């Protein structure tokens, strides 16, 4: 698929209006290509001193893979509630359900200069603190990471995730004010760590946003 140089251009409706989305960036590709997909867009909309997340899913087909193109400037507190609504709609669909259809976030790989994707079909989001507050990671905005309320370095994070915990012992939490762009970079980093994929830490998981 075409590399979009951080801006996605497309035509909306018969009027032919152009819109743009600033995609998140990372330096590695998790998934390179998606076949049989439908695009969904979540726009950044300034509204006075506030910001709105505007969803356009006019071209989405329930039986296909969904690719969510989300503006990197939007905070998680606005993005994730909209993502949860979309996930729920697809999960409860009966008539045209396709068990093999997945959900992906799109982003730009700045090294490979291509459009890339992160699967999140099996991630369940909660807009709250986890009830279990042991062995949890909290990724705050601006790159700060905490483990059990203690700030740790990226090197320490790698050690903990690679060597100590199985999927049942890892809880991922994210700052609700973190930008979607930073969320994608963090997710790509974690998914690229040794043993994270083999231990299925990212599968059938809950993520807490608060």
Which residues, 6+ apart, have CB-to-CB distance to 19 below 8 Å?
A: 9, 10, 12, 41, 43
| d(C-alpha 57, C-alpha 82), whole Å | 11
| d(C-alpha 6, C-alpha 9), whole Å | 10
- How much is the pLDDT for 196? 57
| d(C-alpha 71, C-alpha 55), whole Å | 11
| d(C-alpha 206, C-alpha 192), whole Å | 19
Ramachandran class of 48: left when φ > 0, alpha when ψ lies in -120 to 50, beta otherwise? left
* Assigned domain for 1 exists: no
CB 181 within 8 A of CB 97: no
Q: How many domains does the chain have?
A: 1
- How much is the pLDDT for 84? 98
Return the structure tokens found at 189: 């980093």
* Assigned domain for 195 exists: yes
Q: For residues 161, 111, 182 and 80, what is the CA-based torsion angle, rounded to 10 degrees?
A: -90
What DSSP state is assigned to residue 26?
Answer: E
Tell me phi and psi for residue 143, to 5 degrees: 85, 5
Return the structure tokens found at 115: 């459009």
- How much is the pLDDT for 154? 85
pLDDT tens for the chain, 210 residues long, are 445 443 545 444 444 567 789 999 999 999 999 999 999 999 999 999 999 999 999 889 999 999 999 999 999 999 999 999 999 999 998 778 898 999 999 999 999 889 999 999 999 999 999 887 667 889 999 899 998 889 999 888 888 776 665 555 678 899 999 999 999 999 998 888 755 555 555 544 889 999
* Assigned domain for 31 exists: yes
Task: Decide the pairing of beta strands 136-139 and 103-109.
Answer: unpaired
Which residues, 6+ apart, have CB-to-CB distance to 115 below 8 Å?
A: 1, 2, 3, 4, 23, 106, 107, 108, 109
* Assigned domain for 2 exists: no
Q: Is 78 helix (H, G, I), strand (E, B) or coil?
A: helix
What DSSP state is assigned to residue 143?
Answer: G
Please report which helix (H) or strand (E) contains residue 189, including its range.
helix 180-191
Q: Which domain holds residue 131?
A: 7-209
């Amino acid at each position: 698929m075409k590399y979009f140089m951080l801006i996605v251009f497309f035509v909306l409706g018969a009027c032919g209006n152009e819109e743009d989305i600033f995609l998140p960036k990372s330096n590695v590709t998790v998934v390179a290509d998606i076949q049989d997909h439908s695009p969904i867009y979540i726009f950044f909309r300034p509204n006075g001193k506030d910001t709105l997340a505007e969803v356009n899913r006019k071209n989405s087909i329930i039986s296909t893979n969904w690719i969510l193109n989300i503006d990197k400037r939007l905070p998680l507190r606005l993005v994730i509630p909209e993502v949860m609504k979309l996930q729920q709609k697809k999960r409860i669909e009966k008539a045209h359900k396709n068990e093999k259809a997945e959900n992906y976030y799109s982003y730009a790989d700045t090294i490979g200069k291509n459009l890339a994707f992160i699967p999140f079909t099996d991630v369940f989001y909660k807009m709250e603190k986890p009830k279990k507050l042991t062995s949890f990671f909290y990724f705050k905005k601006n790159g700060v990471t905490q483990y059990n309320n203690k700030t740790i370095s990226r090197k320490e994070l790698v050690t903990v995730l690679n060597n100590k915990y199985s999927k049942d012992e890892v809880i991922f939490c994210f700052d609700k004010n973190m930008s979607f762009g930073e969320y994608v970079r963090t997710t790509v980093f974690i998914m690229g760590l040794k043993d994270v994929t083999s231990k299925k830490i990212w599968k059938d998981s809950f993520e807490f946003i608060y």
